[in-house]
Amino acid sequence: MSIPEPRQTVKMHGQQGVVLIVALIMLMILSVLASISIRGASSTEQVANQSRQQALARQTAETALRFCEQQVQLYAANPATGFAPEAAPVGAGTKYGWETMANWDTLAPTANLKTVAFTSAGDAGTTVYFTRQPECMAQYLTPADTKVFVTTARGFGPEVGAKDGSAPRGTEVWLQSVVTMK
Is residue 139 included in any domain, yes or no? Answer: yes
Overall number of domains in the chain: 1
pLDDT in tens, the chain (182 residues): 667 676 766 665 555 678 888 889 999 999 999 888 888 777 888 888 889 999 999 999 999 999 999 988 888 888 888 888 887 766 667 788 888 888 888 887 777 888 887 766 666 666 667 888 899 998 887 767 667 888 999 999 989 988 888 889 999 999 999 888 77
The boundaries of the domain holding residue 85 are 36-180
DSSP letter assigned to residue 168: -
Residue 17 CA to residue 2 CA, distance in Å, equals 40
DSSP letter assigned to residue 1: -
Residue 143 CA to residue 56 CA, distance in Å, equals 35
Is residue 72 included in any domain, yes or no? Answer: yes
Is residue 4 included in any domain, yes or no? Answer: no
Is residue 134 included in any domain, yes or no? Answer: yes
Q: SS3 of 97, please?
A: helix
Is residue 94 included in any domain, yes or no? Answer: yes
